[in-house]
Structure 1
Amino acid sequence: MREEPPTRDWLTHRARASPEKTALVEADDGTEWSYAELDDAVAETAGQLAARGVEEGDHLGVLMETRVAFVRVVHAAMRLGAVLVPLNARLARPELERQAETADVTALVCERQTEADAIAVAQRRSTSERAATIPVASVDSPEEKGAVALREQGTQQFEPVEWSPTDTMAMLFTSGTTGDPKAVSLSMGNFFASATASAFRLGVLPEDRWLLCLSMYHMGGLSVVLRSALYGTAVVLQEGFDATAATTAIAEYEVTGVSLVPTMLRRMLGASDLADSLRFVLLGGAPASDELLARCETRGVPVHPTYGMTETTSQIATASPREAFDYDGTVGRPLLGTDVTVVDDDGTPLPSGEAGELVVSGPTVMTGYYGDSEATEEAFGTHGFHTGDVGYRDDGGRLWILNRREDRIVTGGENVHPGEVVEVLRSHPKIREAAVVGLADDEWGERVAALVVPEEDATDRDASLTEDALDAHCRDRLAGYKCPKTIAFADELPRTASGTVEREAVRERLLADGECDERGDERDERDERDEHDEGDDCDE
């Protein structure tokens, strides 16, 4: 077979092909960049990173929320041949340290809000046996010792790198099936195939504008930036999600597409009607309720429920609005080039209508988990990548997702592994045991809930055993969305005859204690600033 010729970074090609077309719009102030102007800005950022020692093959960690500077770093990394490693800016410091170690991060780019965490992560990495000193550069003016301003480093000449489809382009994190951080290695070919298949399903028009209001450290946000450069269409960037601001931006900038999770769409529909300019609303990250889809049909919202994973570079299957309205709960048919096999516990393919695990193959499937050959080998079988999701297909090839083979909780589009939360709860000196499950929630899809067993010497008067105290304990160690919104106390955990925690009994006990008490509502309000977006992507 003829080997594919190497290629430059995608922005270089796009700037040559359509330099005057609009590439990027800041929704807050209307500032616009043409592709030629964005190309010049990215060349400057790449030169600054080169001056900091970033070069081909480096693992460039990025710790910031969605903003223009992040867009520049994404394209600059590709121009330098560095592997992009977006880190979730909402994670607690110990979580960030584990991710940086897992991905062998060699340099970090941050912003003012994440500067302290970036410095701490770099110092931790630099003291390990596996790493040398990790430079930290901020896209803002640093306020702490240990970080330098990227723009103050000057620029260094560099030779743009040529890419082949098999080269690793980015590593994004997923909790996988164990709760441990896994760095998903995605090649340039993976991203290209995903963008192509999505274009065939959603369509691409010359004047398309895609609203970016998801976090770029998730696939749903990152893919908007990369796909738009390939398509030659514009990104309308909103810093931080606000429902009213998002609906206003869609109308003001004649946005034609947007990626959302159900919580975000629900809030936007509550804020106002969506503009007629919209061609598609790519809705993923969590199942869409029948009520939400009915509202979309009534109000003419072109919603495309989608199912995907970080390991498949986003979309696996995507429904059209007509499919979504006529076939309740479907996520549509697999995209071009993607094959989905439904198998039983022995790996035998099942016929239409029978539920089993979904196994995916095709050019969008990851090359593997970085540095974890055992997990990679376990994830693949005869028919491809084992998703861990249970579902079925109808005679027309449409897919339905029922649940996960494991007990992972999906809250507002973010994945939460119960075992990780249990470990943090049990680290509390007054907690002996804990069980964590997901409870149905109208706002987030699921809410994290915990049933805890205090130590025998603990008393009702222990101030450290209040719900607020346990909430604070968790928040020091976990991202906000992982912290239990409902906490109940028990003398013992319900168990089966074999000693396994009986999860359904745990769920019933928590529901009986009141799923939506006042304290849980207060924590929900506090978490509104931590908008849930795509967790594993608008992953659709």
Structure 2
Amino acid sequence: MRDILATRARASPDTPALVDDGRGREWTYAELDAAVETTAGRLAALGVERGDHVGVLMETRPAFVRLAFALQRLGAVLVPLNARLAPAELRFQRERSDLVLLVCDADTEDDALDAAGPTPVVTVDDPDGSAVAALDEQDESAVDAVEWGRDDTLALMFTSGTTGDPKPVRLTFGNVVSAATASAFTLGVLPGDRWLLCLSMYHMGGLSVPLRCALYGTTCVLQRGFDADDALRALAEHDCAGVSVVPTMLRRMLRAERDFPDVRFVLCGGAPTPAELVAACERASVPVHPSYGMTEATSQIATARPAEAFANPGTVGRPVFGTTVTVVDDADDPVPAGETGELCVSGPTITPGYYDAPEANADAFGPHGLRTGDVGYRDEGGRLYVLNRRSDRIITGGENVDPGRVADATREHPAVEDVAVVGLKDDEWGERVAALVVPDADADLSRDALAAHWAERLAGFERPRTVAVVDSLPRTPSGTVDRAAARERVARASEEE
């Protein structure tokens, strides 16, 4: 098949495709297709060819949507980069993903230049200097739309994966189509549906919305950033069928002054949806669909419909259509219902592997598919429950934080001898990053100095919000850090402040 948008534009040219909420712009599928053809021609003039990896560094906006579809038209691979990352992290991801071009906007131009190295940089806005070219000023080259096969790589999405190191996940054309199909079977699709996009498109939950809308022939209503009251307004004003959120966003929407409009679904993922939040949705008659997913599964692995979620606190429902979840013990043997173990997943939505990472792939895949690193169980009715992550990864506001990375960055401070990084429960963010820091002997270590140090090395969501300075780290008899004791100590220090 041709790229997703071209196929949809032939079938539904006059159907609204994209609404830029708050800016008064709307595109039909025919109009969006024409805009994407122009963008693809300009990218081709810059030398982008089939199979090339092109980075996009910006928050959610229509230009991001056009770029995603334009790269499909050329047969190139989209590499969304998190616009909240520190420059050092962006440099690593640029090198790791073998980019031939990096596309930014006015807000990310400085970070793009800092991270780009030898990679050319273009902006979708007016450039701030001569080092960056303007995409709109490029001449258009002729574009021969490519044919896509199910196994062709459509995107590389960075994730911490199951080992903590950021790795680019290969997502194929077939993965995306299968994920959209499975989601439709769970949430339902009607011809006039509108799906509110208020997530960042550099996450799978955000990127999936315009891709799925194009496959379904429905409308994507795009918001530039998230505000709870504004999201509720947009849901009502555009008569949206649903929205994708993370738990922190949903909690804010429930606390907002506006009433929650009548929608068919609120897909909540990116982090565990607390039982108390599901109960609050039931009281407010909000049709929450708690979802368990990961980038390696092209988003959803299991999703609970509202009645199931309300009647079974803590469940994420059953696996979506085509996905198999096996709960295994340490020997990779399946365990019966009710017993806990690691969740392994297989099916047409699962990535074929990480890009250029044979060792990571060997570790990540086993006899029952992808090892998620998550521990959970299945009840007698087949419903899944996710209990915790084997790696103690922290999920704050829907963002994955690897404690080891934060610890490594902290140890680079000359006044730090050692550190333990843990997650603490947080009513707003689900979890917050906390650090137990041991200063070097006779060193003068202030929290302001640590904050300045982290600002240069870590994204905002990765920086510890709770810090306790101690003489030594709690350790187990074997000498490893006692994470439970560390969490208790830093939590106690937080309460004493």
Q: TM-score, normalising length from structure 1?
A: 0.91
Work out whether 1:280 is the aligned partner of 2:265: yes
SS of structure 2 residue aligned to 1:56: coil
Q: Which of residues 99, 104, 119 is equivalent to 1:105?
A: 99
- Tell me the residue number matched to 1:454: 439
SS of structure 2 residue aligned to 1:397: coil
Work out whether 1:392 is the aligned partner of 2:377: yes
Relative to 1, partners in 2 of residues 1:86 and 1:438: Cα closer, same or farther, differing over 3 Å?
A: same
Larger relative CO (CA 8 A, sep 6+): 1 or 2? 1
Work out whether 1:474 is the aligned partner of 2:454: yes
Work out whether 1:200 is the aligned partner of 2:197: no
Relative to 1, partners in 2 of residues 1:321 and 1:516: Cα closer, same or farther, differing over 3 Å?
A: farther
SS of structure 2 residue aligned to 1:341: strand
Contact in 2 for aligned 1:308/1:315 (Cα 8 Å): yes
Using the alignment, how far apart are the partners of 1:358 and 1:370 within structure 2? 22
Q: Which of residues 73, 77, 89 is equivalent to 2:83?
A: 89
Work out whether 1:245 is the aligned partner of 2:230: yes
Q: Which of residues 5, 28, 48 is equivalent to 1:54?
A: 48
Using the alignment, how far apart are the partners of 1:420 and 1:363 within structure 2? 31
Letter of the 2:386 partner, please give it.
Answer: I
Between 264-273 and 300-309, report the one with greater CA deviation.
Answer: 264-273
- Tell me the residue number matched to 2:486: 506
Relative to 1, partners in 2 of residues 1:515 and 1:422: Cα closer, same or farther, differing over 3 Å?
A: farther
Using the alignment, how far apart are the partners of 1:192 and 1:230 within structure 2? 8
- Tell me the residue number matched to 1:525: none
Work out whether 1:16 is the aligned partner of 2:1: no
| Matched positions, count | 497
- What displacement does 1:515 show? 4.7
Contact in 1 for aligned 2:235/2:261 (Cα 8 Å): no
Using the alignment, how far apart are the partners of 2:370 and 2:273 within structure 1? 24
Contact in 1 for aligned 2:229/2:258 (Cα 8 Å): no
- What displacement does 1:276 show? 3.9
Using the alignment, how far apart are the partners of 2:69 and 2:466 within structure 1? 42
Using the alignment, how far apart are the partners of 1:14 and 1:177 within structure 2? 35
Relative to 1, partners in 2 of residues 1:274 and 1:190: Cα closer, same or farther, differing over 3 Å?
A: farther
Work out whether 1:306 is the aligned partner of 2:300: no
Using the alignment, how far apart are the partners of 2:334 and 2:477 within structure 1? 33
- What displacement does 1:274 show? 4.6
- What displacement does 1:89 show? 0.5
Using the alignment, how far apart are the partners of 1:25 and 1:171 within structure 2? 26
Contact in 2 for aligned 1:439/1:448 (Cα 8 Å): yes
- What displacement does 1:512 show? 1.3
- Tell me the residue number matched to 2:152: 167
Relative to 1, partners in 2 of residues 1:515 and 1:142: Cα closer, same or farther, differing over 3 Å?
A: farther
Work out whether 1:142 is the aligned partner of 2:122: no
Using the alignment, how far apart are the partners of 1:178 and 1:16 within structure 2? 43
- What displacement does 1:154 show? 1.9
Using the alignment, how far apart are the partners of 2:249 and 2:450 within structure 1? 28
Q: Which of residues 137, 147, 162 is equivalent to 1:177?
A: 162
Letter of the 1:239 partner, please give it.
Answer: R
- Tell me the residue number matched to 2:209: 224
Relative to 1, partners in 2 of residues 1:316 and 1:361: Cα closer, same or farther, differing over 3 Å?
A: same
Letter of the 2:225 partner, please give it.
Answer: G
Letter of the 2:283 partner, please give it.
Answer: T
- Deviation track 1:151-190 (CA, whole Å, cap 9, x = no partner) reads 0012111211111000000000111233221000011000
Q: Which of residues 115, 119, 122 is equivalent to 1:121?
A: 115
Using the alignment, how far apart are the partners of 2:434 and 2:462 within structure 1? 10
- Deviation track 1:367-421 (CA, whole Å, cap 9, x = no partner) reads 1010101111111111111100000011111000000111111111111111101
For 1:365-404, list aligned pairs within 5 A. 365-404=350-389
Using the alignment, how far apart are the partners of 1:391 and 1:403 within structure 2? 7
Using the alignment, how far apart are the partners of 1:196 and 1:468 within structure 2? 49
Using the alignment, how far apart are the partners of 1:454 and 1:275 within structure 2? 48
- Tell me the residue number matched to 1:529: none
Using the alignment, how far apart are the partners of 2:190 and 2:263 within structure 1? 12
Contact in 1 for aligned 2:297/2:349 (Cα 8 Å): yes
SS of structure 2 residue aligned to 1:217: coil
Using the alignment, how far apart are the partners of 1:319 and 1:508 within structure 2? 33
Using the alignment, how far apart are the partners of 1:499 and 1:354 within structure 2? 30
- Tell me the residue number matched to 1:316: 301
Using the alignment, how far apart are the partners of 1:16 and 1:277 within structure 2? 32
Letter of the 2:90 partner, please give it.
Answer: L
The unaligned stretches of length 5 or more in structure 1 are: 1-6, 127-133, 518-540
Using the alignment, how far apart are the partners of 1:447 and 1:515 within structure 2? 14
- Tell me the residue number matched to 2:22: 28
Letter of the 2:32 partner, please give it.
Answer: L
SS of structure 2 residue aligned to 1:513: helix
For 1:415-426, list aligned pairs within 5 A. 415-426=400-411
Contact in 2 for aligned 1:92/1:477 (Cα 8 Å): yes
SS of structure 2 residue aligned to 1:476: helix
Work out whether 1:491 is the aligned partner of 2:476: no
Work out whether 1:347 is the aligned partner of 2:332: yes
- What displacement does 1:486 show? 0.4
Letter of the 2:472 partner, please give it.
Answer: E
Letter of the 2:479 partner, please give it.
Answer: G
The unaligned stretches of length 5 or more in structure 2 are: none
- Tell me the residue number matched to 2:276: 291
Using the alignment, how far apart are the partners of 2:180 and 2:285 within structure 1? 26
- What displacement does 1:457 show? 1.9
Using the alignment, how far apart are the partners of 2:100 and 2:259 within structure 1? 43
Q: How much identity, in percent, do the aligned residues show?
A: 63
Letter of the 2:289 partner, please give it.
Answer: H
Using the alignment, how far apart are the partners of 1:199 and 1:334 within structure 2? 13
SS of structure 1 residue aligned to 2:477: coil
Q: Which of residues 58, 64, 69 is equivalent to 1:70?
A: 64
Letter of the 1:255 partner, please give it.
Answer: C
- Tell me the residue number matched to 2:320: 335
- What displacement does 1:273 show? 4.4
SS of structure 2 residue aligned to 1:307: strand
- What displacement does 1:144 show? 2.3
- Deviation track 1:201-260 (CA, whole Å, cap 9, x = no partner) reads 100001100000000000000000100000000000000111111111111111111000
Using the alignment, how far apart are the partners of 1:19 and 1:403 within structure 2? 46
- What displacement does 1:146 show? 1.6
- Tell me the residue number matched to 1:524: none
Contact in 1 for aligned 2:59/2:83 (Cα 8 Å): yes
Contact in 2 for aligned 1:486/1:515 (Cα 8 Å): no
SS of structure 2 residue aligned to 1:112: coil
Using the alignment, how far apart are the partners of 2:37 and 2:260 within structure 1? 35
